[in-house]
Homo-oligomer: A and B are copies of this chain.
Amino acid sequence: MSCSVAQCLEVVGEWWSMLIVRDAFLGVTRFDAFQERLGIARNVLQARLTKLVDAGVLTKTAYSDRPLRYDYRLTDKGRDLWPVLTAMRQWGDRYAAPYGPPLQVVHNGCGHVCDVVLTCAACGDSVGPGDVTVADARPGLIPLRDGARG
């Protein structure tokens, strides 16, 4: 499927993958620490870590030879998932956090709690689904209805 959303899901669409990426952003690097935080079966965690390494989202670097142990760290490609993670967090904070957001994210620059808004890189205005028009950039590949809007 050529859709870029689908391509993103190919890499991080398995349930645990995005939570591994979340924990990597929070500074977790080691298998046992991921395992303890996520409460995930070790073989599932290993499979997800391997997939994320293969996809170029994480790197693994040995920090111990005997036994052989690795640190897992985000690549630039992995760090570029921050907007996805942040958008998910904000949606969850809004719709599924009856006791308030579990994490407080503060913008270092201004010191305020960092609610993120999406803005147009060209003009700086905030953008939402009603502010854009979606067209098929490669006609024939994706059947879109005429006049469909994002």
Contact = CB atoms under 8 A, between A and B. Distances in A.
Contacts of A11: 96
A89 B80 CA distance: 12
So how many copies of this chain end up in the complex?
2
| Chain A contact surface mostly | mixed
Which range holds the interface residue count of chain A? Answer: 35 or more
A124 to B, nearest CB: 8
B95 A77 contact: yes
A64 interface: no
Given A2-B102, A101-B137, 13 more contacts: A3-B19, A5-B85, A8-B96, A27-B144, A37-B143, A104-B137, A105-B133, A107-B122, A109-B120, A110-B122, A114-B121, A116-B121, A117-B119
